[in-house]
Structure 1
Amino acid sequence: MRVALVSPYSWTYPGGVTRHIEALRAELDRAGHDVRVFAPFDPDRRLTAALHRGARPQDREVPEWLTPLGPTIGWPSNGAVSNLSPFPSAVSTLRRELRAGGFDVVHLHEPVAPVVAWDALTSVEAPLVGTFHCYSESVPPHKVAALIGARRKLNRLNVQIAVSEAAAWTGRRFYGGRYRIVPNGVALPEGGVPAPRERAAGEPLRIVFVGQAVGRKGLPVLLRAFEALRGQVPAELTVIGLTQAELAPLLVEGEGVTALGRVDDAVKAAVLRDADVLCAPSLGGESFGMVLTEAFAAGTPVVASDIAGYRDVVTAGTDGVLVPRGNATALAETLRDLALDPGRVQRMAQGAAVSAERYAWPRVAEQVVTAYEDARAVPEPSTATQRVAVKLGAVPRDGLPRVGAQRLPSLEPVPERRRGALVRRGAIGLAGLMTVVGAVLAVDHIGPARIGDALVRSSPPWVLFGLALMCLSMLARAVSWHAILKAALPGARPKLADAVQGTTIGVLMSATLPARLGEPSRALIVARRLGRARDRLPVVLGTIVSQTLINVLALVILGAVMFITIGLFAGRQQALVWYALAPIGLLALVLVAPALVRSGRPTRSRWVRQGRQAIARVRSGLVVFRRPREGFVAITMQLGAWALQWVACYVLLVALGLEHKADLGAAAAILFAVNVTAVLPVTPSNVGVFQAACMAVLVGAYGVAPAQALGYGIILQAVEVACAVVMGGPALVKEGLSWREVRLRALHSAPVRLSAPKAPEPAEA
C-alpha cells in the first residue's frame, strides 16, 4: 500500500505528533508498505528562532522519505507552542506532490490545524484518514474553526481516528463524527521490557521529568514539590528537555536537580531505565502522554496528574499513581510515600511492563493499517448528486448517517476545593471587565479631545523630574528592606544589591501583572541570592510583612495630612472618607490576626491552620522592630520613600498646571487613594481603577475638571510604569532572567509543607 503521512507541524521542532508519525512510518515500512511523509521543515537560522519565540530548531537531516513543506511560525496554542506553516507555498507543494504520488491512502494528522492538513481535506481525491491528537476544552478556537467550515471539511474523511478518549471527546464535542481509538505506540526494547530496578536502602529516589518548560507541563509544580521532598527523604531529579541554563531560572535551589537538555531516544530510554519513577505533573491539555508509555517500555512506573489524557493511559495503583493536578503538596507527599516504600515501586514497575505491551508499535500499526483498508473500502457515491454532496462535504464520505457536534460534560470536573479559587478569579475578572467598561464610558463622556489636550499641555521637564523622584523612592524602599533583611537573617549577610535587585524586579512584576505577584517575585530573587533558598524563602516573605506594617503607618500619616489640609467638614471631600477607612481596617486586621490564630489548641479549620503557619513564617521577619538600629533605618527610609512619591505626585500636578487648584494636600490624597485601591488589583497596574481613584480625589474634593483629572491619572500611572521598566528591566538582565521566567516561578512560590508519612503498603501474598 502506498501511504502519504501529512503533518502540519515542523519536523525540526519535534513534538508528540512528529514522533508518532516518524515511528509509524518506520513500522509501516517494516511491514512492506511504501510510505512518504510530508511536513514543514525549519532550517537553523537566526530568523527561525525569532519566529519561534526564541527557540532554535533541532539539527535534523532530511531523510529520503520526507518531503519538506517550508518554514513555520510558532503560535501559542493550548498551553504550548504549535509550529505551523501559514505560507501558500506549503499548500502548493503538498497539492503537487499528492497529485503526482498516486497514493492509496492520505493520512492527515491533526486535520483541523492550519493550513497544510486543512487544505488537504478538500483538495485531495484519494481516500482520507484523519488522526486527532489534541485534547482541548477551550471553546473559542474550535468555534472559529467550525464557523469557517471545519465540520463540512471533516465530512471528507473516510475514517476518523483519535489517539485517546480525551482526543475523541474534543472531536465529538466541537465537530461531531465517529472516532475509533488507536493509541500512540511505543517501541519496546529488543530484549523486552527490563526488570524493575532494585533500590537499596537509603538510596535516593530517582525521579525523571521529560518535557518542555511550557506552562501546561507543570514543571514549576514539580520543582516546588521536589524542594519539599528533599527535606524529608533523599531524592534526585533529572530533567530531560531543558538545559541547565534554561532550568536555572525556575529553580529556587538547584541541589539534587540535573538537566540533560534535549537528548536522543537512546539516552532518554537509558535514563528512564535507571529511574525509579517518571513524574508527569501536567496541568491539562494532554490527549495521551507518549512519555508515559515510554516509561512503561523502560519498566518504570509513573506519577502523573489526574487529567483526562493521562487517565486513559495510567491504571492507578497498577502501573502508576494519579495525583490532583497543580497540587504540589499532594505530589510531594506521593513521591515521599513511594520513596519510603520500595516494594510498592517494584510492584508498579512490574505493572508498567505489562501495560507497555498494550501500546507496542506492531499492535498499534496493525490497527492503523486496518483503518487504511476500511478507508479504501468505502464505496464511491453512486449518483452525480451524491458525488457533488460528498465533494462539498455536505454529507459524510463514509456513507453513514451524519453525527453532529454534541454538548458533552467536561472531562475535567472542578474539585470542590478549587471552586472557591475559581469564584475568586471570576470575581476579579468581572471587576476587571467592569473597570474597562467604566473607563471606556468615562473617556466617551469626557471627550477624547479634551483628555488629549490635557496630556499635550503637560510639561515634559516636570514629568521627567517626577520620574526621577519615583526612581529614588524605589531605591529608598530597597535600603529599608535591606535593613529588615539584615535583622531577620544575620547569618546570611544580605547585601544592599540583593535588596535593590529584588525590589526593582518585584515592582516591575507588580506593574505588568494582575494580582500581587511582585511580592513573591522579589522574595524569590533575594532568597536565591542568600544560599539555601528553600530555607530562606519563608523568612524573606516574612520581612515583606514588616514593610507592609510601615506602609500602613505611611498611609495613616498621609490620611492625616489629607484631612488637615482640606478640612474634614469643608463639604467637598466626602469621596476621601471611604478611602480613609481602608488602612484603619487593614491595620486592625494585622494587629488582631495573630491573636486569632496563634492559639495552641487543635482545630479542624483549614483556614486557621494556614493562618497559624503564616504567623510562624513571618515572625522571624518582624525581628527588625526589636532592633533599634535596623528598625530606625527601615522605618525612616521607607517613610522617606513615601515622601519622595508624595513630592513626585505634586510635581506632576505642576506639570499639568494644576498646582493652583490642588496643593501638597491633594498630592497626599492622590497617593493615599491609589495605594488603598491597589490592595486588591484587578488589572495589571490596576489600570482604570488607578485613574478612577485620581478622579475621585481631584474632581470630587478639589474641583478639577474631569478631563484634566483623568489626564493626570494617565500621566501618573505612566510615570510609575516607566519607573518600574527603567529600574526593573536592567535588573532582570543582570539577574539573567526573563519576565516570563520570573512570572512562571512567582506563580508557584509558596513553600510546600508535608504531612506525616504513611506506613508502607504490605506486599500481596
Structure 2
Amino acid sequence: MTGTHRPLRVGIVCPYSFDVPGGVQFHVRDLAEALIERGHTVSVLAPADDDTPIPEYMTSAGRAVPVRYNGAVARMTFGPVTAARVRRWLAAGEFDVLHLHEPVTPSLGMLALWIADGPIVATFHTALLRSRPLQMAYPLVRQSLEKISARIAVSEDARRTLVEHMGGDAVVIPNGVYVDAFTGATTDPRWTGTPEAPTIAFLGRLDEPRKGLQVLLGAVPEVLRTHPGARFLVAGRGDTGPDEVRELLGDDARAVEFLGGITDDEKASLLASVDVYCAPQIGGESFGIVLVEAMSAGTPVVASDLGAFRRVLEEGDAGVLFRTGDPADLARTLVRVLGDAPLRAALVERASAAVRRYDWSSVTHEVLTVYEMVVEAADAPVREDPSSWRGARLRDLRRVRGEAR
C-alpha cells in the first residue's frame, strides 16, 4: 500500500442513537469527519429523534428506544420500518465500502449486514469476558458474518471478545483522538487547582455502575484527610446528584461538584485544568478514550487496572493504576500522586509521547488501508481462496503496526 488513498464512497452505520451520544457515536462522527477532510464521500446512518441536530453527512434512521445492553443503557432502533430505511440508504449511497460498527448489536448494523452486498468492514467495540447479548445475537448473524470482508477491533480486549464469542480474528486499530485539540485546550479558572486545593475530574454516565463513580466517591473522605481543600469535579448526565452524595458522605460531600453534561470544548478545558483525571471504571471497557484525551491535555491519569486501561497507560508508565473497585487503594493512589509533583510531571512527559499513536491522522490512515484492501479484493479476479488472501493482507497491516500475533 502506498501512503495515498484514492477517493472512496464510504457508508458508515452507527447502531446507537445520537440523542445521547457516547463513545461509539463519537468514534463514528470523528472518523466520518476525518475521512471527509481527506476528500472521501461519507454518509453515516444512525438512529436520531426528529429534533436531534445532526450533521449534513448523517441520515437519521428514526427514533431510538432505550435498551439495557452490555451493562449500559443503549438507544437503538430495529424492525421492518427501520430495515426499509436501511435498504433505501444503501441503494442511494452506492458505496465502495460499507463500514458497520457493532454489527451483532440488534440495531442498524445487524440490519445492514443482512441486507448489504459488496465490500463490508466491521468494527467491534465491545470487551466483556462473558457477554450474554453477544451469545444471544450470534445465531442471528452467524451466516451473515461471512459477508464481512475485514474485521477491526478497537483494542486487544475487544479482539479477544470477538474471537471468544464469534471466532475469526480482527486487526486492532484503536479509537482516535484529535490530540492537538486537547494539547492546545485553554484552562478554566473554575476548574484549576492549587497546591492547597487540587482538583480531580471524573467524566461518565453517573447512573451506570460500571463507570465507577461510586468507587471514586468512596475514596473522597480519605483524600480529604491529607488534602482537605481537594475538589472532585464530576461531569456527565445521570440521576446521581448532590442529595445522594450528601447521604453517602455527609459533610465531605462539600468537596464534590456536579457539572452536568458538558460540551466537547468544555471537556477539553476541564481536562487541561485539573491536577488529576480519575478513571475508576469497574468493567466493560474496551479501550479508554477519555484516558487518551486527558493524556493529550497534559493531565496525569489515575485509573483502575482493567486490561484496556493498562494497555493505554503502557502498564503504568504513562499513568498510575490502582486495584479495580477498591476505594481505599484509589484514595492511597490519589494522595500519592497529588503529593508528588515530580511524578506528575514525569507522567505527563511520557503520556505526551504515547498518545501520538492514537491521533486521527494515524488511525484514519490505518482504516483507509483496510478499506483499500477489501475494495481491491472485490475488484480482483476470483482466487481459489479469497479468505486466505484477506487474511494475508490483514497480516501485512499488522506487521506495519508492529502487532504480534
TM-score by length of 1: 0.47
- Deviation (angstroms), 1:115: 2.9
Partner of 1:326: 325
Matches for 1:320-719 after TM superposition, within 5 Å: 320-379=319-378
Partner of 1:53: none
Partner of 1:39: 46
How big is each residue's C-alpha offset from its partner over 1:425-465, in whole Å with a ceiling of 9 and x where there is no partner? xxxxxxxxxxxxxxxxxxxxxxxxxxxxxxxxxxxxxxxxx
- Deviation (angstroms), 1:242: 3.4
Partner of 1:88: 80
The answer to whether the 8 Å contact 1:182/1:367 transfers is: yes
Q: Is the aligned partner of 1:174 residue 2:165?
A: yes
Report the structure, 1 or 2, having the larger strand content: 2
The answer to whether the 8 Å contact 1:220/1:250 transfers is: no
Partner of 2:199: 206
- Deviation (angstroms), 1:117: 0.8
- Deviation (angstroms), 1:122: 2.9
Q: Is the aligned partner of 1:238 residue 2:237?
A: no
- Deviation (angstroms), 1:201: 7.4
Partner of 2:178: 187
How big is each residue's C-alpha offset from its partner over 1:298-339, in whole Å with a ceiling of 9 and x where there is no partner? 111211111122122112443211111100000000001112
Identity of aligned residues (%): 36
**AA paired with 1:82?**
A
Aligned with 1:156 (options 138, 144, 147): 147
**AA paired with 2:130?**
S
Change (3 A) 1:180 1:400: closer
Tell me how far apart the structure 2 counterparts of residues 242 and 67 of structure 1 sit (CA, whole Å): 26
Tell me how far apart the structure 1 counterparts of residues 135 and 68 of structure 2 sit (CA, whole Å): 17
Per the alignment, in what secondary structure is the counterpart of residue 179 of structure 2? coil
Change (3 A) 1:373 1:7: same
The answer to whether the 8 Å contact 2:275/2:300 transfers is: yes
The answer to whether the 8 Å contact 1:295/1:301 transfers is: yes
- Deviation (angstroms), 1:119: 1.9
Change (3 A) 1:342 1:9: same
The answer to whether the 8 Å contact 1:157/1:398 transfers is: no
Tell me how far apart the structure 1 counterparts of residues 254 and 373 of structure 2 sit (CA, whole Å): 55
Aligned with 2:14 (options 2, 7, 12): 7
Choose between structure 1 and 2 for higher RCO, CA contacts under 8 A separated by at least 6 residues: 2
- Deviation (angstroms), 1:225: 0.3
The answer to whether the 8 Å contact 2:215/2:327 transfers is: yes
- Deviation (angstroms), 1:285: 0.3
How big is each residue's C-alpha offset from its partner over 1:595-617, in whole Å with a ceiling of 9 and x where there is no partner? xxxxxxxxxxxxxxxxxxxxxxx
Matches for 1:125-140 after TM superposition, within 5 Å: 125-140=117-132
Tell me how far apart the structure 2 counterparts of residues 295 and 191 of structure 1 sit (CA, whole Å): 8
How big is each residue's C-alpha offset from its partner over 1:273-314, in whole Å with a ceiling of 9 and x where there is no partner? 011111010010000011111101111121111112212211
Partner of 1:264: 263
The answer to whether the 8 Å contact 1:7/1:109 transfers is: yes
Change (3 A) 1:381 1:343: closer
Count of aligned residue pairs for this structure pair: 376
Q: Is the aligned partner of 1:278 residue 2:277?
A: yes
Per the alignment, in what secondary structure is the counterpart of residue 142 of structure 2? helix
Query: Alpha carbon RMSD of aligned pairs, Å?
Result: 2.7
Structure 1 alignment gaps of length 5 or more: 45-59, 402-765
Bigger drift between 355-364 and 148-157 goes to 148-157
The answer to whether the 8 Å contact 2:186/2:269 transfers is: no
**AA paired with 1:154?**
L
Q: Is the aligned partner of 1:19 residue 2:26?
A: yes
**AA paired with 1:164?**
S
How big is each residue's C-alpha offset from its partner over 1:65-85, in whole Å with a ceiling of 9 and x where there is no partner? 110001111111222111111
**AA paired with 1:281?**
P
Partner of 2:311: 312
Q: Is the aligned partner of 1:223 residue 2:217?
A: yes
**AA paired with 2:231?**
E
Change (3 A) 1:297 1:156: same
Structure 2 alignment gaps of length 5 or more: 1-7, 393-405
Per the alignment, in what secondary structure is the counterpart of residue 189 of structure 1? helix
Report the structure, 1 or 2, having the larger helix content: 1
**AA paired with 1:165?**
E
- Deviation (angstroms), 1:380: 6.3
Tell me how far apart the structure 2 counterparts of residues 337 and 210 of structure 1 sit (CA, whole Å): 21
Per the alignment, in what secondary structure is the counterpart of residue 362 of structure 2? helix
How big is each residue's C-alpha offset from its partner over 1:509-549, in whole Å with a ceiling of 9 and x where there is no partner? xxxxxxxxxxxxxxxxxxxxxxxxxxxxxxxxxxxxxxxxx
Tell me how far apart the structure 1 counterparts of residues 71 and 38 of structure 2 sit (CA, whole Å): 36
Tell me how far apart the structure 2 counterparts of residues 232 and 190 of structure 1 sit (CA, whole Å): 34
